[in-house]
Amino acid sequence: MKIVIVGTGYVGLVTGTCFAEVGIEVVCVDIDQKKIDNLKNGILPIYEPGLEEMVERNVKKGRLKFSTDLSQSIVDAEVAFIAVGTPPGEDGSADLKYVLAVATAIGQSMKNDIVVVTKSTVPVGTSLKVKKALQEELGKRNASLTAYVSSNPEFLKEGAAIDDFMKPDRIVVGIDAPQAEETMRKLYKPFLLNGHPIFFMDIPSAEMTKYAANSMLATKISFMNDIANLCEIVGADVNLVRKGIGSDARIGNKFIYPGVGYGGSCFPKDVKALIKTAKQNGYDMRVLSAVEDVNDDQKYVLVKKVNKYFNNDLKGKKFGVWGLSFKPKTDDMREAPSLVIIPELLKAGASVIAYDPVAMHEASHTLKDTITYAQDPLEVLEGIDGLLIVTEWSEFRSPDFDVVKSKMKGKAIFDGRNIYDPKEMKTLGFDYYCIGLKA
Ligand code: UGA
């Protein structure tokens, strides 16, 4: 079986590489010549654990190819995935111009019947637009070809994307023709072997499933952040509460960790987009609006604790920051809480030195030279008044606290990810502040 993936961003590249891994012939197409040249030389545009080796392996086996030529790549392909970006427009809704441009290009260049699959996260109704664009082009060509459409949302977590793809909780496929179902079932067969389910449904339901999933997860997080903040006020411990509620299977113990707010390229964008879709259809998503408000505020929680500790006087203080990316195992800085926290400290007249295992280069595009970038976690500590933990990279989890103490000038640690035990930190002589835990 041969397939084409258009768009070699995060989703397209992971998708194409994982399909190649199970023996499917994949051509990843992108209009960006430099990106394609780099990929041919094994240089990836993103960091994702395990991906580089997988790309290399499949390129060597000849199952994974990269090209800028859609027209040539699409010959004999049974499926074409659209995996290009949908950046939020000024009003918060997803901008579909890249998705529809690809649909048009496929309509212009397809040589045989094909299933065109929307993989990018797109608002309900987009696949219909894709279908219209395809049919328009086929009409112009007077071609007696059929382009079936399908919506196949992705549920990949950055940092765990390969595992999520190879061992999916579920595969959701929206279709509007039996031919499309048959092709998609054949394509995904290698991933269903160990009982991983595939759900076929109508296209709007598949499109909605993606937004509902991310919005539900964002809701869990904002809810827990609210609970954690309240725990602090009433003298409860959110870790105990989390365990107490998480053991109820109806609630579940995942995605109920409080912190400094959710970030990344998905939750903030998808929550906004769903609120917007609802509004356009005359409906008010009240819960989701609150989810967004809570998250915006949560990004300031750590700075509020810092201000309280230093009596609102941060002028001339020096702070260390451990972790910049929006979560561990990625260099992704999109909507990262660190991009709210650090500017707040700087605005108040403090200076900042930061370390992140992989995201410093990415972070420097936004933070530029407003902060100092350290070579390692220990360098961050030299003479600082306080340490802020913003991303829970495993290398921050068990430092030698004697060394930490000896290097720091102050003794305050503000932990936005609850990675230490408050009692132990107190015994060690730190002033330790975290999110909703009891000392
Ligand atoms: C998210 C979803 O988890 C994926 O299923 C989905 O496919 C993806 O979006 C997408 O739409 O492409 P991702 O953005 O990579 O994946 O990151 P998550 O691991 O979901 O984390 C999102 C944010 O929530 C992070 O900032 C993380 O720190 C925060 N979070 C997560 C918490 O604050 N608490 C938790 O308990 C879990």
Q: Is the C-beta atom of 393 inside 6 A of ligand 1?
A: no
Kindly report each contact of residues 223-226 with a partner whose C-beta sits within 8 Å and lies 24 or more positions away, as own/partner: 223/291, 223/294, 224/256, 224/257, 224/258, 225/258, 225/259, 225/261, 225/294, 225/295, 225/298, 225/301, 225/435, 226/294
Nearest CA to ligand 1 atom 19: 157
Q: Rounded to the nearest 5 degrees, what angle is found at the Cα of 59, between the Cα atoms of 56 and 61?
A: 110
Q: Is the C-beta atom of 436 inside 6 A of ligand 1?
A: no
- Selecting among 18, 28, 231, 266, the annotated active-site residue is 266
Among 157, 224, 294, residue to substitute to test ligand 1 (most atoms within 8 Å of Cβ): 157
- Rounded to a whole number, what is the distance in angstroms from the first to the last CA of the chain? 59
Written as six digits, the tokens of 95 are 């901008």
Asked whether 284 and 348 are in contact (CB, 8 A), the reply is no
Please tell me the predicted confidence (pLDDT) of residue 397: 97
Q: Is the C-beta atom of 131 inside 6 A of ligand 1?
A: no
Write the DSSP assignment of 60-124 as a string of letters: HTTSEEEES-HHHHTTT-SEEEE-----B-TTSSBP-HHHHHHHHHHHHH--S-EEEEE-S---T
Nearest CA to ligand 1 atom 17: 157
Nearest CA to ligand 1 atom 18: 157
* Known catalytic residue at 18: no
Please tell me the predicted confidence (pLDDT) of residue 143: 87
Please tell me the predicted confidence (pLDDT) of residue 287: 98
User: CA-to-CA distance for 13 and 11, rounded, in angstroms?
Assistant: 6
Q: Is the C-beta atom of 165 inside 6 A of ligand 1?
A: no
Tokens 């900042």 locate to: 352
| Full-model pTM | 0.94
ipTM of the complex: 0.97
Is position 391 annotated in a ligand binding site? Answer: no
Which mean pLDDT values do the consecutive 10-residue runs of the chain (439 residues) have? 97 98 98 97 94 97 98 97 88 86 97 96 93 97 95 95 96 97 98 94 97 97 98 97 98 98 94 92 98 98 98 98 96 97 98 97 98 98 98 97 98 98 97 94
User: CA-to-CA distance for 271 and 375, rounded, in angstroms?
Assistant: 36
Q: For 2-201, give the CATH class.
A: alpha beta
Q: How far is the CA of 263 from the centre of ligand 1 (A)?
A: 7
User: CA-to-CA distance for 102 and 105, rounded, in angstroms?
Assistant: 5
What is the location of CATH 3.40.50.720 in the chain? 2-201, 211-297, 299-433
Q: Is the C-beta atom of 255 inside 6 A of ligand 1?
A: yes
Q: How far is the CA of 36 from the centre of ligand 1 (A)?
A: 28
Alpha carbons within 13 A on the beta-carbon side of 272:
19
Q: For 299-433, give the CATH class.
A: alpha beta
Q: Which CATH architecture has domain 211-297?
A: 3-Layer(aba) Sandwich (3.40)
- Cα–Cα nearest to 171, from 314, 66, 18: 18
